Structure 1
Amino acid sequence: MTEIAPAQQRGVRLPRTERRVQLLAAAQRVFSENGYHAAAMDEIAEQAGVSKPVLYQHFPGKLDLYTALLESHVDELVGTVRDALASTTDNKQRVQAAVGAFFDFVNGDAGAYRMIFESDLRGEPAVQAAVDRATSACVDAITDTITADAGLDEDKARLLAVGLVGLSQVSARFWLAHHRTMSREDAVSLTATLAWRGIGAGFPLQHPPQEPGAPGH
């Protein structure tokens, strides 16, 4: 989430987009510290330096605010994974980058990853839809890459993509929960090696990379 400068105090008029970013940043702090049920709109407004009416102009209720914040984190995660896949045409490095994207997301903002992977509001349809999108959009991106490069049909490629997403997500969360007993680099390397030996060795590149001179895998 974007940090809000101290100068953005109560009474300062901001463009609607900037105000929304400010409110989401304040909400992130309050939800992370207190959890959803104990978080109060009064405290979020105070953290943002706005009046409650201003807060309610942007978000009609606490659930609306929570869902908007969750959606922003989902967009961040999906964008990170897509950027990782697009960062190279070397498939071994792609696997490493995709795994690393999950580790970076989990390690970057504990409040963000907990809202997606450990939300206690999954009974709410809007929350569940956002949580489902976090996984499905990442799976879609990886499926497209595997289908294009390994020559598999979509069903097989999707199953492999689900496996890679699940392996990366669970491994990253385990690494974080166990006090980072190894470095991020070592943890990503171990996880990526496991994935690559299954995907890379079992399903070699079927088409040459588009970039001249780039290795296939």
Structure 2
Amino acid sequence: MNDDAQARRDVNPDIKTWLDTVTIDPAVRELRPDYRALVIVAEGLRPGPSDAFSEELLAAAEASALARTGDGAAGHPHVAAWREAFRDFGAKPQRTRPSVDGLLRRVPAGLPRVDRLTDIYNAISVAHGIPLGGEDLDHYRGPAFLTRADGTESFETTAAGEAVVEHPEPGEVVWRDDAGVTCRRWNWRQCTRTRLTHDTTRAVFILDALAPLSDEALAEAGEALVAALVAGDPGVRACSRLV
């Protein structure tokens, strides 16, 4: 964000405090020293089903991705870096793709329309070629931290329409809080507990960056996300931190 100091004055103190607790385990830094996370927290969001506003953003993102690469993910240098990162901790990117890889591969057939907030961040992810996830901040338990799993952590998800608890592989890179894993394999799949819903008004958005993506390009993606959220509802207040 261009004026992070001003943005921080606009949000509630508890959000600013929470943002400052986000951490990255040194074990992840050792795995990928080039990794950076731009973490944005926002309140005053207007949730709900997909609408004309989110549709316009997704359609524009699809057009820009096709114009840039022709076939979605193929040849995208930042996507290639994420495939390499997945291999570094033992994941097979052909089976469990980095989130932006999965989205870009769906561009030719059309991106999914999920809900208003998810559509907004998916559009920014595709337009900027960067993994980007959003979660309901009110369902977090303690701070967010990126670490390498020991395999005992709980991950709440669904299988065949039923709620189940899975566990990450030992050494897997995961985002988690005090209650368990919030996102497996860095940015592959989010848990059901913190997912965005039609009731979400406070959210955390995490933008994942590796070389060759520059800090400037990462900041531009964050600014685009905040601008889209504010365009969708001028009452949105946000602040960010580069971790």
Bigger Cα Rg: 1
Q: Structure 1 or 2: larger helix share?
A: 1
Task: Indicate the TM-score class for this superposition, using the shorter chain for normalisation.
Answer: under 0.3
Greater relative contact order (Cα < 8 A, sep 6+): 2
| TM-score scaled by length of structure 1 | 0.24
Q: Give the structure-2-normalised TM-score.
A: 0.22
